[in-house]
Structure 1
Protein backbone atom coordinates (compact mmCIF):
# COMPACT_ATOMS: atom_id res chain seq x y z
CA UNK A 1 0.00 0.00 0.00
CA UNK A 2 1.38 3.40 -1.02
CA UNK A 3 1.56 5.91 1.83
CA UNK A 4 2.78 8.86 -0.22
CA UNK A 5 0.60 11.97 0.10
CA UNK A 6 1.04 14.51 -2.73
CA UNK A 7 1.87 18.06 -1.66
CA UNK A 8 1.45 20.89 -4.19
CA UNK A 9 3.76 23.29 -2.35
CA UNK A 10 6.57 20.71 -2.13
CA UNK A 11 6.10 19.88 -5.82
CA UNK A 12 6.36 23.60 -6.65
CA UNK A 13 9.62 23.76 -4.69
CA UNK A 14 10.97 20.87 -6.75
CA UNK A 15 9.97 22.62 -9.99
CA UNK A 16 11.51 25.88 -8.75
CA UNK A 17 14.82 24.08 -8.15
CA UNK A 18 15.13 23.37 -11.89
CA UNK A 19 17.00 26.27 -13.54
CA UNK A 20 15.58 25.52 -16.99
CA UNK A 21 12.03 25.47 -15.63
CA UNK A 22 12.66 28.85 -14.02
CA UNK A 23 14.01 30.21 -17.32
CA UNK A 24 10.83 29.10 -19.07
CA UNK A 25 8.62 30.47 -16.30
CA UNK A 26 6.94 27.10 -15.74
CA UNK A 27 4.48 26.72 -12.90
CA UNK A 28 2.53 23.81 -11.44
CA UNK A 29 -1.17 24.62 -11.22
CA UNK A 30 -2.38 21.17 -10.12
CA UNK A 31 -0.71 18.21 -8.41
CA UNK A 32 -2.52 15.22 -6.91
CA UNK A 33 -4.93 12.35 -7.54
CA UNK A 34 -2.66 10.84 -10.19
CA UNK A 35 -2.41 14.02 -12.23
CA UNK A 36 -0.35 17.15 -12.66
CA UNK A 37 -0.79 20.31 -14.70
CA UNK A 38 2.12 22.49 -15.74
CA UNK A 39 1.67 25.88 -17.42
CA UNK A 40 3.91 28.51 -18.94
CA UNK A 41 3.26 31.82 -20.62
CA UNK A 42 4.01 31.81 -24.33
CA UNK A 43 6.51 34.52 -25.20
CA UNK A 44 8.53 35.34 -28.30
CA UNK A 45 11.73 33.62 -27.11
CA UNK A 46 9.85 30.30 -27.05
CA UNK A 47 8.72 30.46 -30.68
CA UNK A 48 10.31 28.98 -33.78
CA UNK A 49 10.81 30.77 -37.10
CA UNK A 50 7.15 30.53 -38.14
CA UNK A 51 5.87 32.05 -34.91
CA UNK A 52 4.63 28.81 -33.32
CA UNK A 53 5.80 27.53 -29.94
CA UNK A 54 8.96 25.50 -30.54
CA UNK A 55 8.46 21.74 -30.38
CA UNK A 56 11.22 21.50 -27.78
CA UNK A 57 9.17 23.66 -25.42
CA UNK A 58 6.14 21.40 -25.87
CA UNK A 59 8.38 18.39 -25.33
CA UNK A 60 9.80 19.91 -22.12
CA UNK A 61 6.28 20.58 -20.81
CA UNK A 62 5.14 17.04 -21.58
CA UNK A 63 8.24 15.49 -19.97
CA UNK A 64 7.88 17.46 -16.74
CA UNK A 65 4.09 17.04 -16.51
CA UNK A 66 4.41 13.27 -17.04
CA UNK A 67 7.04 12.99 -14.33
CA UNK A 68 5.12 15.14 -11.84
CA UNK A 69 1.95 13.11 -12.46
CA UNK A 70 3.86 9.91 -11.66
CA UNK A 71 5.21 11.58 -8.54
CA UNK A 72 1.67 12.04 -7.23
CA UNK A 73 1.36 8.28 -6.77
CA UNK A 74 4.90 7.09 -5.99
CA UNK A 75 6.65 10.09 -4.45
CA UNK A 76 9.43 12.39 -5.63
CA UNK A 77 12.10 9.79 -6.47
CA UNK A 78 11.17 9.52 -10.17
CA UNK A 79 13.05 9.83 -13.45
CA UNK A 80 11.83 9.83 -17.03
CA UNK A 81 12.57 6.46 -18.63
CA UNK A 82 11.16 7.48 -22.01
CA UNK A 83 8.32 9.20 -23.74
CA UNK A 84 6.89 9.91 -27.17
CA UNK A 85 5.08 12.99 -28.35
CA UNK A 86 2.82 13.64 -31.32
CA UNK A 87 2.37 17.21 -32.50
CA UNK A 88 -1.20 17.64 -33.72
CA UNK A 89 -1.26 21.30 -34.78
CA UNK A 90 0.92 24.38 -34.47
CA UNK A 91 0.92 25.77 -30.94
CA UNK A 92 -0.09 29.41 -30.70
CA UNK A 93 -1.84 31.30 -27.96
CA UNK A 94 -1.14 32.98 -24.64
CA UNK A 95 -0.46 29.99 -22.35
CA UNK A 96 0.83 26.46 -22.85
CA UNK A 97 -0.91 23.95 -20.54
CA UNK A 98 0.32 20.38 -20.14
CA UNK A 99 -2.01 18.09 -18.20
CA UNK A 100 -0.69 14.61 -17.42
CA UNK A 101 -2.51 11.70 -15.82
CA UNK A 102 -1.31 8.34 -14.55
CA UNK A 103 -2.53 5.47 -16.72
CA UNK A 104 -0.99 2.64 -14.71
CA UNK A 105 1.07 2.94 -11.54
CA UNK A 106 3.57 0.16 -11.02
CA UNK A 107 6.16 -0.67 -8.42
CA UNK A 108 9.13 0.25 -10.64
CA UNK A 109 7.49 2.06 -13.60
CA UNK A 110 4.53 4.41 -13.94
CA UNK A 111 2.86 4.89 -17.32
CA UNK A 112 1.32 8.33 -17.90
CA UNK A 113 -0.24 10.29 -20.73
CA UNK A 114 -0.25 14.03 -21.32
CA UNK A 115 -2.45 16.38 -23.32
CA UNK A 116 -0.89 19.71 -24.30
CA UNK A 117 -3.12 22.69 -24.98
CA UNK A 118 -2.64 26.28 -25.91
CA UNK A 119 -4.97 28.73 -24.22
CA UNK A 120 -5.98 31.98 -25.94
CA UNK A 121 -6.76 35.33 -24.33
CA UNK A 122 -10.43 34.34 -23.93
CA UNK A 123 -9.58 31.09 -22.11
CA UNK A 124 -10.31 28.77 -25.03
CA UNK A 125 -8.14 25.65 -25.11
CA UNK A 126 -6.80 24.05 -28.30
CA UNK A 127 -5.22 20.60 -28.18
CA UNK A 128 -1.84 20.85 -29.93
CA UNK A 129 0.06 17.70 -28.86
CA UNK A 130 -0.28 14.44 -26.96
CA UNK A 131 2.42 12.44 -25.21
CA UNK A 132 2.83 9.15 -23.40
CA UNK A 133 5.66 8.30 -21.07
CA UNK A 134 7.15 5.73 -18.78
CA UNK A 135 8.50 7.07 -15.53
CA UNK A 136 11.03 5.04 -13.53
CA UNK A 137 10.75 4.86 -9.76
CA UNK A 138 14.24 5.44 -8.37
CA UNK A 139 15.53 2.85 -5.91
CA UNK A 140 16.84 5.48 -3.52
CA UNK A 141 15.85 9.01 -2.72
CA UNK A 142 17.19 11.62 -5.10
CA UNK A 143 19.68 14.15 -3.70
CA UNK A 144 18.32 17.39 -2.31
CA UNK A 145 18.56 20.38 -4.68
CA UNK A 146 21.52 22.66 -4.14
CA UNK A 147 20.60 26.22 -3.23
Structure 2
Protein backbone atom coordinates (compact mmCIF):
# COMPACT_ATOMS: atom_id res chain seq x y z
CA UNK A 1 0.00 0.00 0.00
CA UNK A 2 1.43 3.36 -1.05
CA UNK A 3 1.07 5.79 1.84
CA UNK A 4 3.36 8.46 0.42
CA UNK A 5 2.05 11.95 0.02
CA UNK A 6 2.17 13.43 -3.44
CA UNK A 7 2.98 17.13 -3.54
CA UNK A 8 2.80 18.04 -7.19
CA UNK A 9 0.42 20.79 -8.31
CA UNK A 10 -2.85 19.95 -9.95
CA UNK A 11 -3.49 21.62 -13.27
CA UNK A 12 -6.56 21.35 -15.38
CA UNK A 13 -4.42 20.40 -18.37
CA UNK A 14 -3.88 17.03 -16.69
CA UNK A 15 -7.62 16.35 -16.45
CA UNK A 16 -10.08 15.06 -19.00
CA UNK A 17 -11.14 17.54 -21.69
CA UNK A 18 -14.19 19.72 -21.35
CA UNK A 19 -17.30 18.04 -22.70
CA UNK A 20 -17.49 18.03 -26.46
CA UNK A 21 -14.56 20.40 -27.00
CA UNK A 22 -11.49 18.20 -26.89
CA UNK A 23 -9.90 21.04 -24.91
CA UNK A 24 -9.37 21.24 -21.16
CA UNK A 25 -11.55 23.56 -19.12
CA UNK A 26 -10.06 26.76 -17.74
CA UNK A 27 -6.65 26.71 -16.11
CA UNK A 28 -6.64 26.33 -12.33
CA UNK A 29 -3.64 25.39 -10.23
CA UNK A 30 -3.92 24.21 -6.64
CA UNK A 31 -1.34 22.54 -4.45
CA UNK A 32 -1.90 19.73 -2.00
CA UNK A 33 -1.09 22.22 0.76
CA UNK A 34 -4.00 24.42 -0.38
CA UNK A 35 -6.27 21.37 -0.51
CA UNK A 36 -5.24 20.49 3.05
CA UNK A 37 -6.07 24.03 4.16
CA UNK A 38 -9.55 23.72 2.63
CA UNK A 39 -10.05 20.35 4.36
CA UNK A 40 -8.82 21.81 7.67
CA UNK A 41 -11.47 24.55 7.39
CA UNK A 42 -14.20 21.86 7.53
CA UNK A 43 -15.18 21.21 11.17
CA UNK A 44 -16.77 17.84 10.31
CA UNK A 45 -13.64 16.68 8.48
CA UNK A 46 -11.61 17.45 11.60
CA UNK A 47 -14.21 15.68 13.76
CA UNK A 48 -13.99 12.39 11.84
CA UNK A 49 -10.22 12.67 11.30
CA UNK A 50 -10.08 13.03 7.51
CA UNK A 51 -6.72 13.50 5.78
CA UNK A 52 -5.96 14.18 2.12
CA UNK A 53 -2.98 12.15 0.88
CA UNK A 54 -3.13 12.76 -2.89
CA UNK A 55 -4.39 15.73 -4.88
CA UNK A 56 -3.39 16.30 -8.49
CA UNK A 57 -4.64 16.30 -12.05
CA UNK A 58 -8.33 15.72 -11.43
CA UNK A 59 -7.81 13.10 -8.74
CA UNK A 60 -7.80 12.99 -4.95
CA UNK A 61 -7.38 10.42 -2.19
CA UNK A 62 -8.79 10.96 1.28
CA UNK A 63 -8.37 8.65 4.28
CA UNK A 64 -9.92 8.21 7.71
CA UNK A 65 -8.25 6.14 10.43
CA UNK A 66 -11.21 4.28 11.90
CA UNK A 67 -12.29 4.66 15.51
CA UNK A 68 -15.08 3.03 17.53
CA UNK A 69 -17.34 6.07 17.09
CA UNK A 70 -17.37 5.53 13.28
CA UNK A 71 -19.32 2.27 13.76
CA UNK A 72 -23.02 1.46 13.62
CA UNK A 73 -24.81 -1.02 15.89
CA UNK A 74 -23.40 -4.15 14.18
CA UNK A 75 -19.80 -2.94 14.38
CA UNK A 76 -19.45 -2.00 10.70
CA UNK A 77 -18.48 1.51 9.60
CA UNK A 78 -21.64 3.62 9.49
CA UNK A 79 -22.93 4.27 5.97
CA UNK A 80 -22.99 8.00 6.71
CA UNK A 81 -19.21 7.97 7.22
CA UNK A 82 -18.76 6.24 3.85
CA UNK A 83 -21.14 8.71 2.15
CA UNK A 84 -19.34 11.69 3.70
CA UNK A 85 -15.97 10.36 2.54
CA UNK A 86 -17.26 9.73 -1.00
CA UNK A 87 -18.77 13.23 -1.17
CA UNK A 88 -15.56 14.91 -0.05
CA UNK A 89 -13.29 12.79 -2.28
CA UNK A 90 -15.47 13.49 -5.33
CA UNK A 91 -15.49 17.21 -4.57
CA UNK A 92 -11.73 17.41 -3.97
CA UNK A 93 -11.04 15.57 -7.23
CA UNK A 94 -13.29 18.05 -9.02
CA UNK A 95 -11.67 20.95 -7.15
CA UNK A 96 -8.29 19.93 -8.54
CA UNK A 97 -9.81 20.49 -11.98
CA UNK A 98 -12.18 23.43 -11.41
CA UNK A 99 -10.42 25.34 -8.64
CA UNK A 100 -11.16 25.58 -4.92
CA UNK A 101 -14.59 27.22 -5.03
CA UNK A 102 -16.77 24.18 -5.67
CA UNK A 103 -19.85 22.58 -4.15
CA UNK A 104 -21.45 19.17 -4.59
CA UNK A 105 -24.26 19.20 -7.15
CA UNK A 106 -25.28 15.65 -6.30
CA UNK A 107 -23.90 12.15 -5.89
CA UNK A 108 -24.96 8.54 -5.60
CA UNK A 109 -23.29 5.83 -3.60
CA UNK A 110 -23.60 2.07 -3.81
CA UNK A 111 -22.56 0.04 -0.77
CA UNK A 112 -20.95 -3.20 -1.94
CA UNK A 113 -20.13 -4.86 1.36
CA UNK A 114 -19.86 -3.91 5.04
CA UNK A 115 -16.78 -1.87 5.87
CA UNK A 116 -14.59 -2.79 8.81
CA UNK A 117 -10.89 -2.52 9.40
CA UNK A 118 -8.26 0.04 10.27
CA UNK A 119 -8.65 2.73 7.62
CA UNK A 120 -11.07 3.96 4.98
CA UNK A 121 -9.48 5.16 1.74
CA UNK A 122 -11.44 6.97 -0.94
CA UNK A 123 -9.88 7.50 -4.36
CA UNK A 124 -11.74 9.76 -6.78
CA UNK A 125 -11.01 10.89 -10.33
CA UNK A 126 -12.69 13.32 -12.71
CA UNK A 127 -14.18 11.56 -15.74
CA UNK A 128 -15.48 14.68 -17.53
CA UNK A 129 -15.21 18.43 -16.97
CA UNK A 130 -16.36 21.74 -18.35
CA UNK A 131 -15.36 25.15 -17.04
CA UNK A 132 -18.11 25.12 -14.44
CA UNK A 133 -18.87 21.46 -13.71
CA UNK A 134 -17.08 18.16 -13.25
CA UNK A 135 -18.25 14.56 -13.00
CA UNK A 136 -16.13 12.18 -10.94
CA UNK A 137 -16.12 8.55 -9.82
CA UNK A 138 -14.96 7.28 -6.44
CA UNK A 139 -14.00 3.94 -4.95
CA UNK A 140 -13.89 3.45 -1.18
CA UNK A 141 -11.65 0.75 0.25
CA UNK A 142 -11.35 -0.53 3.78
CA UNK A 143 -7.70 -1.24 4.51
CA UNK A 144 -6.65 -3.68 7.22
CA UNK A 145 -3.61 -5.86 7.85
CA UNK A 146 -2.03 -5.01 4.49
CA UNK A 147 -5.10 -5.88 2.42
CA UNK A 148 -7.77 -3.70 0.82
CA UNK A 149 -11.45 -4.48 0.32
CA UNK A 150 -13.63 -2.43 -2.03
CA UNK A 151 -16.66 -1.45 0.09
CA UNK A 152 -18.47 1.24 -1.92
CA UNK A 153 -18.47 3.11 -5.21
CA UNK A 154 -19.87 6.58 -5.92
CA UNK A 155 -20.34 9.03 -8.74
CA UNK A 156 -21.01 12.72 -8.39
CA UNK A 157 -21.32 16.10 -10.04
CA UNK A 158 -19.51 19.12 -8.63
CA UNK A 159 -20.10 22.72 -9.66
CA UNK A 160 -17.81 25.74 -9.54
CA UNK A 161 -19.36 28.56 -7.51
CA UNK A 162 -18.71 32.27 -7.18
CA UNK A 163 -18.12 32.31 -3.44
CA UNK A 164 -15.11 33.03 -1.26
CA UNK A 165 -13.62 30.14 0.66
CA UNK A 166 -14.09 30.31 4.43
CA UNK A 167 -10.82 30.45 6.31
CA UNK A 168 -12.11 30.02 9.86
CA UNK A 169 -13.89 26.68 9.73
CA UNK A 170 -17.08 28.56 10.70
CA UNK A 171 -19.72 28.05 7.97
CA UNK A 172 -21.50 31.25 8.98
CA UNK A 173 -18.35 33.29 8.24
CA UNK A 174 -18.95 33.19 4.48
CA UNK A 175 -22.66 32.42 4.32
CA UNK A 176 -24.75 34.68 2.15
CA UNK A 177 -28.44 34.61 1.36
Question: How far, CA to CA, are the matches of 2:151 and 2:158 in structure 1?
Answer: 22
From 145, 167, 171, the counterpart of 1:145: 167
Matched, 1:129 2:171: no
The alignment of Structure 1 onto Structure 2 pairs a total of residues equal to: 145
CA RMSD between the two structures: 1.1
Question: How far, CA to CA, are the matches of 2:72 and 2:166 in structure 1?
Answer: 34
Contact 2:61 2:89 survives alignment (8 Å): yes
Q: Report which of the two structures shows the higher radius of gyration computed on alpha carbons.
A: 2
Question: How far, CA to CA, are the matches of 1:70 and 1:131 in structure 2?
Answer: 14
TM-score by length of 1: 0.95
Deviation by residue 1:56-101 (Cα, 9 ceiling, x = unmatched): 0000000000000001111001000100000000001100000000
Contact 2:98 2:132 survives alignment (8 Å): no
From 12, 19, 23, the counterpart of 2:47: 23
Structure 1: 5+ residue stretches without partners:
none
1:68 match? 92
2:71 match? 47
The DSSP-based 3-state class of the residue aligned with 1:29 is strand
1:86 match? 110
The DSSP-based 3-state class of the residue aligned with 2:117 is coil
The DSSP-based 3-state class of the residue aligned with 1:133 is strand
Deviation by residue 1:112-143 (Cα, 9 ceiling, x = unmatched): 01000000022x111000000000111x2424
